């Protein structure tokens, strides 16, 4: 299964990057007819400026299309997409969908004895559909300290698959980016999926699906990224998971599963006491629904 998933993703990459006019125009027209893509937000709305379907898919947007919410303590959405789930990490359990949880240590590819500051912390999972803008940005200021490539499956991450496949995010291939900030550590996880031909990062270039058997760790000397800065992009739709420590982040209580987000919009605050300062009318922490464990 895993070998077939990787073969299919590599084949998709070759087609998506093909600059042969017949192939390029067929894929672009098919894509635009199947999805409600808003090209008016792109740096270029002229299809002739894109040399392949891939270049259209990873298009940049005009800066004014995604303003970054101001405020030193304000957290912003790292991507366009739909909230799958968000809330508190209950011990080491994250909510995948109602009635289905998965383990934090497994998600981070840690040994059981390893400790992490994200137990009982907070998380948000954002699904990027094919029509969405596919570049991932920083939710707040941070210093990249480590990136861990975790090989794995390439299950689809659409709503149906997430509801049916146990521990999906902890089983799929992913890139785990660790950051330090004045308000404490946080993590951005870029989860690959079926047909995802790779993940491109600003610090390591393109990372393609690999057949490695074990996680690959890369250390970085405190690379700085400012809030709203581009971290990387997907070569097709996928998912971003953000993890924050127990006391250093709170989400707006108005956020809920199924809500559509735009990169740069405020989703909460980071830092002890920052929530009340940034959002005086929303003093409550957004909590996860009760977790009943297991999966359908």
Tell me which of 137, 156, 181, 183 is the catalytic residue: 137
Catalytic residue among 9, 181, 238, 288: 238
Closest C-alpha among 150, 208, 154 to residue 178? 150
Classify burial at 159, counting beta carbons within 10 Å of its beta carbon; exposed 0-12, middle 13-18, buried 19 or more.
middle
**Six-digit token pair at 30?**
């098919």
Q: What is the pLDDT along the chain (296 residues), one digit of tens a residue?
A: 555 555 555 666 677 778 999 999 998 999 899 998 999 999 999 999 999 988 998 999 998 999 999 988 899 999 999 999 999 999 899 999 888 999 999 999 998 778 889 999 999 999 998 889 999 999 999 999 999 999 888 788 888 889 899 999 999 889 999 999 988 999 999 998 766 557 889 998 887 656 667 888 889 988 999 999 999 988 776 899 999 998 788 899 999 999 999 999 999 999 866 654 555 544 444 444 444 444 55
Q: Is 137 a catalytic residue?
A: yes
pLDDT of 36 reads 87
HEC letters along 247-284:
CCEEECCCCCCCCEECCCCEEEEECCCHHHHHCCCCCC
Residue 122 tokens, joined: 């907070």
pLDDT for the residue 80 = 96
Q: Roughly how many angstroms between the first and final C-alpha of the chain, as a whole number?
A: 21
d(CA 168, CA 177) in angstroms, rounded, equals 19
**Per-residue pLDDT, 237:** 66
- Tell me, yes or no, if 36 is annotated catalytic: no
pTM of the model: 0.89
pLDDT, residue 290, reads 41
Active site residue 6: no
Catalytic residue of the set 52, 77, 80, 183: 80
pLDDT score recorded for residue 40: 93
């Amino acid at each position: 299964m895993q070998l077939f998933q990787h073969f299919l993703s590599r084949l998709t990459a070759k087609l998506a990057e093909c600059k042969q006019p017949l192939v390029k125009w067929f894929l672009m027209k098919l894509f635009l007819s199947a999805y409600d893509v808003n090209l008016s937000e792109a740096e270029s709305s002229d299809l002739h400026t894109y040399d392949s379907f891939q270049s259209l898919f990873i298009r940049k947007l005009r800066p004014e299309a995604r303003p970054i919410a101001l405020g030193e303590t304000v957290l912003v959405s790292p991507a366009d997409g739909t909230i799958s789930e968000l809330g508190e990490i209950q011990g080491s359990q994250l909510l995948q969908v109602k009635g289905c949880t998965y383990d934090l240590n497994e998600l981070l590819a840690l040994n059981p004895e390893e400790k992490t500051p994200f137990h009982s912390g907070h998380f948000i999972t954002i699904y990027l559909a094919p029509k969405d803008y596919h570049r991932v940005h920083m939710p707040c200021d941070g210093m990249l300290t480590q990136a861990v490539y975790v090989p794995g499956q390439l299950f689809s991450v659409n709503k149906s698959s997430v509801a049916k496949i146990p521990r999906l995010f902890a089983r799929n291939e992913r890139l785990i980016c660790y950051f330090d900030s004045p308000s404490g550590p946080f993590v951005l996880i870029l989860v690959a999926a079926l047909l995802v031909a790779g993940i491109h990062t600003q610090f390591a270039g393109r990372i393609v699906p690999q057949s490695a058997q074990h996680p690959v760790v890369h250390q970085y000397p405190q690379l700085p990224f400012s809030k709203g800065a581009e971290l990387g992009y997907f070569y097709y739709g996928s998912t971003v998971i953000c993890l924050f420590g127990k006391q250093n982040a709170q989400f707006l209580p108005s956020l809920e599963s199924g809500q559509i987000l735009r990169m740069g919009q405020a989703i909460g605050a980071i830092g002890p006491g920052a929530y009340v300062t940034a959002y005086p009318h929303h003093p409550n922490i957004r909590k996860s629904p009760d977790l009943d464990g297991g999966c359908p």
